[in-house]
Amino acid sequence: MTYPKVTVVGAGQVGATAAFLLVTKGLADVVLVDVADGLPQGKSLDMMHSRSVEQFGPRISGTNDYADTAGSDVVVITAGLPRKPGMSRDDLLAANSQVVRSVIGQAQSASPDALVICVTNPLDVMTYLAWRESGLPHTRIFGMGGVLDSARFAYAISEATGAPVGTIRALACGAHGDAMVPLPRHSTVDGKPLTELLDAEAVRALCERTVNGGAEVVALLKTGSAFYAPAASVVHMVEAVLTDSGATMPSCVRLSGEYGVEDVYMSMPATLGAEGVRAIPELDLDAGELAALRESAATIGEALDAMGLRG
């Protein structure tokens, strides 16, 4: 059987976990690439040793050479420094912008027709940077942020209400970070809006826990940052692309006037398929929700302008 080919850049916790999920779910052959000699090769070999146990068909290989990634259908960028305790996502800007510039150039040279999904933080700024560096149409390069934030929101809702997670549809949009905008009116349990289930203070607490979800994990781990949920989230997006499902999920996409936001990448519901972003269906937002999203977009825009990426 022939499988699609996915390159995962970065053999750290997020990248390696995503690679393992991609092969165990039978979605794609995976090339795991990293600058560290032996790291992607060793992790890939370890995963292949589990092949007879997990009974997966695709293969995974590790490399330090982008030539081995040629012909990829999707490139997932996870490379970069992880967030450490006390470090904001903005603190990562300088170092990770250099990483993304290097990665996108090499990955695009090897696989010019690949879709690109960015995971590197600060997510919204790094996705914009990758788009500018790649020369791809903005529909073919997008980021993982909203899926993860919405999953954290769903977990918080489940913990607070006792509702099975399968009955919950949670939505968090905007920036991936402190300026995130959980949308409780658009989040439901058994189809009923969260705002009709809980009082305002309880809803506020859930939104706050969602915004601080990544920091909560970092504080508990003490070294490193979240990787299981981020990896699962990006694989969810890759699956939508490889299966051409047309699924709609919150994705870090470039807005060009939607919600009154121009030339900013941030998470909003987007329909994904084999060609990338098919559409950005607009939510019915009230004045407060719209204001919060525009304020979130403004914080991203400030970072982009500080880096000289716009204009």
Handedness of CA 144, 146, 147, 153 (dihedral sign): positive
Phi, psi of 252 (to 5 degrees): -80, 100
Residues 238, 22: contact at Cβ < 8 Å? yes
User: Residues for the chain: how many in total?
Assistant: 311
What burial letters (b/e) apply to 238-255, b meaning 16+ CB within 10 Å? bbbbbeeeeeebbbbbbb
Of the candidates 165, 213, 211, 210, which has an alpha carbon nearest to the alpha carbon of residue 188?
165
Tell me which residues are annotated as active site: 176
Token pair 């940077």 is at which residue? 129
